[in-house]
Structures are given as structure tokens and as C-alpha cells.
Amino acid sequence: MSDHNAYFESYKRLLSLTNLAVVTGNTSRKELVSSLNNVRRLLEILEHPERSPFFIHVTGTSGKGSVCEAVRSGIHASGATVGMAVSPHTTTYLERFHIGDKLADPLELAKTIEHVVHAYTVYLEAGHAALNFFQLSNVIAIELFHRAKCRYVVLEVGCGGRYDATNVIPGEKLAIITNVDLDHQEILGNTRAKIAYEKAGIIKKGSTVISGEPRKALRHILLHEAEQVGAQITLVPRKKDDDYHAHNLAIAQAALNHLNIAQGPDIVHKLPCRFETVQQRPHIILDGAHSLPKVEALAKTLRSMKRKPVLVFGCKASKDGIKMLKRLTPNVAGIITTRFTSTFHKTANPFALLQYVPKKKRLGAYLFSEDALNAANAESNGKSPILITGSLYLAGEIRSLFVTENDILSAKSSFPFDKDR
């Protein structure tokens, strides 16, 4: 069996485990703590791979991915072995796992998946509750980096922090909280203060904390949490002329300084589906903005473009698609609505979304993203740029038309055709 086939088969087996019934609606503190303890039980069966590396634990509403990538690049440039786990992936599951300056080896990931699935069988035989896909993926990441003997691991929080599956790592770590804003309110709470409290949950006794949150009231919540557990905290101010990218790099630099790594973060680092050009003619741009703060940052970028783009928009049903569309409408030539086909999350109805677009900018609604892209190509006529946004799942789905899974697996890079990667 080829390395690629082994990878595909292992991922298929892992994905099939998600049809096991898991406890849903975990809202009480007791249930949430129990859920974290279940992840710890699986790690115990694996003989505690989480005790090996030093973790850089990263949460925040925006900028998590950029900060993770910048910190990873700085550590790698210093000569230390570093792993990085991020989510979700854009095209293939392998993109969640980085070792050094490449994605993980597909065969090594396949072997790790099989090892964790075996341990998970032992876990279930002991009568423990089934775990969800993200919980299993987090354990796979920790085991993978343990096997690779990574000295450092940059670990991105999935959602929130306090009860996120990543929050099973030891307290002696570096915790980064980029910022706090409204997102995932259905899970984290409907105010910034509640969300700040959840993100502050990654602050542990013995940890050092770095945060770029600019609001005084929210910083107070982070400072209070640090004081309660005896953690040290450093606040990174946002300079008046800094854009969000420069501020993310400042946060990453503060993290590298704490690690006594002289190498600065890579200023030209890239992430897939972050205002990424995948085709020049017509000019097609993918951006995974999926919340109001991210859409507002995107709108600011659009205002600097010479030509207004044709917008292809789709989002999760849980997002405020109406407000996101409202922010983007003045900066685009016309709007096409669509959906992503992933069954992990519910998608907003593209036909319902289109009703909130001003009539003069309605260009149609499509059930399938490829049809929406074809319609955008026709509307653009090779002159106007095309922008796909509203969801990282949608952007990743369209990206796969330009960059295939096999391309990424062979190059062990999300940018297989980039000579600079």
C-alpha cells in the first residue's frame, strides 16, 4: 500500500468513528469537566505523550492561525524541533499537523492514527464515553509530536479555551490569547466578557501568558485569572499605526522573546485561504473570514482594491450571515450566495441569504460552490476579481479545485506549487 493510500485509509477509519453517539449539549460545568477528563483518560492509556514537549497554547477570536504560524516559523528557524496543530483544515486532514517547516509525513500520521484508534478501543472497552472528532484529533496531534520528539508544540485552541479539548496539557506552558471578540456565542456566551472568561481558562498555574487584547475591561478579566492561579502575564499593546497583521507579529515576537529565541517571526509567512490568490486570470481570491470582526478586517482590505470584486458568499448556519453580508456589500460589485458541502456543520441556505442582498447586487444563489464559481467567472468576464469568503469550509472546498489533496500530500505543504515554500 502506498503512503498516500495508507493515509487515506486511516483517515477514513478515523472519520467513521464519528458516528458513535457522544454526549451532546454539554452545558453544565460538571459535564464539561467530565469531557476533558475523558480526553485525559485516553492520553493516560497512551502513557501521557502530553508530558514530553513544551506547549505554546494559542487562543483568541482572530489571529490564532497567523500567530501560531509566526511562532512556529521562528522556533524552526532557531534549529529547535517544533510541531504545530491547527484547525480546521482547508483541503486535507494532514494540514492540521506540521512538523518543522513541512506538514507531517502522511505515512507517520497514518501510523499514529492507527495507534490512537487501538488505544481508543481499550478506552471504550473500559466503559468510557465516546469522544468527538476534535477530541480524537487533538490526541492524535499530541501523540504524533511525541513520536517525532518535538521539543516545542504550538497548539491552537479549537473553540474558547477553558473546556476545549486542547486544555488537557500541563500548566507549565506559554499561553497566548490574541484578542477577544464576539464569535461562537452559541457556545461561549453572548458577551465579550463571557467569551474572555472562557478564553482565560487556558491560563494555568505555572504558565506564562501573552495577550494582545486592547480593551481595558477584557484585559482586567485576563489579569484577574492570571492573579488567581499565580501566572505571569505580558500585555502586547497595539501601536496606533499597526494593522492586525503587524499586531499578530508583535504578539508572536513577544512569545519568541519569552522562549529566548533570537530569530524573529517570518514576516512573509502564508496561510491557505487568508486572502490567498489561487488564480491570476481571472483573479480569484480565497478568504476564510467567518465572523464579523474578520469580515470587517476584510472589508477594510477590499476598500483599497482598484476594482470591486464579484463576491461568492456562504457561511455556517450558526453565523450571522446577514450582518456579514451587510458589511461586505458596499465593497463588492455583486453577490452570489452558495453553501459548503461538508456535513460536519450546518450551512446557511444560500437562497435565504440572497434575499438580504440589495436587488441591484443580486447575481444568484447556487446549491453547489463550483456552480457558484462558474457563475462568478461569467459575471467577472475576466475583468473583475472574484472573492470567495464567509466560511473557511467554503474557501477550502473551492481551493481543492486548484490544489488537490495529492498535490499537498506529495509536497507535504499547503502550497505545493510555491517555490519559496
Same domain flag for 63 and 210: yes
Q: How confident is the model at residue 25 (pLDDT cuts 50, 70, 90)?
A: low
Q: Which helix (H) or strand (E) holds 131?
A: none
Tens digits of residue pLDDT in 217-239: 999 999 999 999 989 999 998 87
Last residue of a domain, one of 250, 269, 288: 269
Q: Determine contact, residues 96/154, Cβ cutoff 8 Å.
A: no
Q: Are residues 122 and 261 in the same domain?
A: yes
Q: Is residue 61 part of a domain?
A: yes
Range of the domain at 54: 3-269
**CATH number, residue 303:** 3.90.190.20
Q: What is the pLDDT of residues 175-212, one digit of tens each?
A: 999 988 766 556 556 688 888 888 888 999 989 999 98
Same domain, 265 and 285: no
Neighbours of 220 (CB within 10 A): 13
Cβ(56)–Cβ(172) below 8 Å: no
99 strand-pairing partners: 83, 102
Q: Is the domain of 197 the same as that of 333?
A: no
At residue 22, the pLDDT reads: 75
Q: Which of 269, 298, 329 is the last residue of a domain?
A: 269
Per the domain annotation, does 102 fall within a domain? yes
Q: Which of 138, 115, 112, 141 is nearest to 45 (CA)?
A: 115
The verdict on 89 and 65 lying in the same domain is yes
User: What average pLDDT does range 44-66 have in this prediction?
Assistant: 93
Q: For residue 127, is it within any domain?
A: yes
Judge whether 414 lies within some domain.
no
Q: What angle do CA 202, 205, 207 make, to 5 degrees?
A: 65
The pLDDT value given to residue 421: 40
CA–CA gap between residue 133 and residue 159 (Å, rounded)? 13
For residue 297, tell me if it sits in a domain: yes
pLDDT digits (tens, 9 = 90+) for 153-165: 999 998 888 888 9
104 and 192 housed in the same domain: yes
Q: Are residues 314 and 366 in the same domain?
A: yes
Give the end of a domain, one of 242, 269, 296.
269
Total number of domains in the chain: 2
pLDDT number for residue 13: 96
Q: Quick one: 282 and 262 in the same domain?
A: no
332 shares a domain with 258 = no
One domain for residues 163 and 203: yes
Has residue 406 been placed in a domain? Answer: no
* Rounded distance between C-alpha atoms, residue 356 and residue 320, angstroms: 12
- pLDDT surpasses 80 at 351: yes
Cα–Cα dist 169/353, whole Å: 41
For 122-142, the pLDDT digits (tens) are 999 999 999 999 999 999 999
Do 240 and 368 share a domain, yes or no?
A: no
**Domain shared by 250 and 293, yes or no:** no
